[in-house]
Homo-oligomer: A and B are copies of this chain.
C-alpha cells in the first residue's frame, strides 16, 4: 500500500504567490500541504476566520506561508490580504456549508456570495495596481454539485452537464451558482483568469462530522477506524436494500487535490469562450460499497461499530442525488478520475495511512 501517484503538474512560471481562503478547513489544509510540498519556490497566503494553523507535516515550509485571520465579509479585511503583496493565483475555498446557509439565510449569502464578490473586486483592483504587463490573476472558484436540482436529479440519472440547466434547491447551491456567474463575467471582461470547479463528495474527510447530509459517507469510515461508533442513516440493517439503492458520487481526497492543482496549469484556451466551469470526475459507489471497504480495512471489529438507523431527512435529500455525471469534458482536459472499482477502497486506505502517521 502506497500513496496515489498522479501526473506531475507544471504551473505557469509567473505563479510565485498563491492565496488560499478557507484554508482552515479540510480541503484548504490538504491543498496547502500538497502545493507546498510540490512547489518549493511558491509562497502562500492562507486565511480563514481565524488564522489557519500550518499542518505539522509541512512545518519545515512555514517560512513560505503567511497565515492571516480575516473576516472576508468585511471589504477592508479582504483588501488587506493583498496589501503590499503580489498575488498571482487565488483559491477561493471559503464558505458556509449547506446546513449552515440553509439555517441562516442572510449569513449564508453574506459569506457565500458577498464575501466572494468582495474578493473578486479586490483581485481586480490588485491586478490594476500590479506592474504593467502582469499576467491576469488565476482565480479558482470552488463550486459543487449542489448547483443542480429539479426533476432530472434522481439516483438513476447520469447528468449531462451540456444539456442540464441549473436548478439549485438550497441556498448553498444557489450561492454557488451565483458566484459561478460572477467569476465567469469577471473572466470574460478580462479582470481575472477564472476557473470554476464543481466538486463531488470528497472522501474520506478527517476531522469532525459536518452538518451536510453527505457527512455520513466519510463518517462510516472515519469513526469506526478510530474505534468510535458511527450512524448509518441510509438503512435499518445490513440487509436493507437501501444500501444498494442510493448511488453516491465521490472522489478520493488526493485525487480532488491533484485536480485542484491541475486546473491551475491549464491554459485559458482549454476552455470554450462561454464557460470556465468543469465538473470534477467522480466514481459512483453505494453505501454497501462503503461498508464492505470498511470491513476490508478495519475488519468485523470496525463493522460492529456501525449503528444502522434510517434517517428520513437524509434519505429524502438523497432521493435527489444523481448517481452519476458525464465526465467526458473533464477527462479530456486531463483531470483524473479514481478507479471505479478500487477508488473507494483506496480512499479508505489513504485515511488509514493518515491515521497511522498521526499516531
Q: Is A218 located at the chain interface by the 8 A CB criterion?
A: no
Whether a CB of chain B sits under 8 angstroms from the CB of A188 is yes
Q: B residues within 8 A CB of A272? A: 150-151
- Do A149 and B181 have beta carbons less than 8 Å apart? no
Provide the residues of chain B in CB contact with A177, threshold 8 Å. 181
Chain B residues lying within 8 Å of A273, measured Cβ to Cβ, are 169
CB-based contact B169/A274 at 8 Å:
yes
Task: Mark interface residues in A151-183 (1 if CB within 8 Å of B CB, else 0).
Answer: 100000000011111111101001001100110
Q: Which 9 A-B pairs have the closest CB atoms?
A: A150-B274, A167-B274, A163-B163, A174-B185, A165-B165, A174-B181, A178-B178, A149-B274, A178-B181
Other A-B pairs, 15, CB within 8 Å; known A151-B272, A167-B275, A171-B189: A105-B189, A150-B272, A150-B275, A161-B165, A163-B163, A163-B165, A164-B165, A168-B185, A169-B273, A169-B274, A174-B181, A174-B182, A174-B184, A178-B178, A178-B182
Report how far A150 CA is from B177 CA in the complex, Å.
Answer: 17
- Hey, which chain B residues are within 8 Å of A182, CB to CB? 174, 178
Number of interface residues of A (CB under 8 A): 27
CB nearest neighbor in B for A320: B274
A244-291 residues at the B interface, CB under 8 angstroms: 272-275
Contact A164/B167 with A181-B174, A185-B174, A275-B150 known, Cβ cut-off 8 Å = no
Complex CA gap A178/B116 in Å reads 14
Residues of B within 8 A of A171 (CB): 185, 189
CA distance A105 to B121 in the complex (A): 11
Given known pairs A150-B272, A178-B182, A185-B174, the reply for A166 and B163 (CB within 8 Å) is no
Question: Which B residues are CB-close (under 8 A) to A105?
Answer: 189
Complex formed: what's the CA distance from A273 to B178 in Å?
A: 20
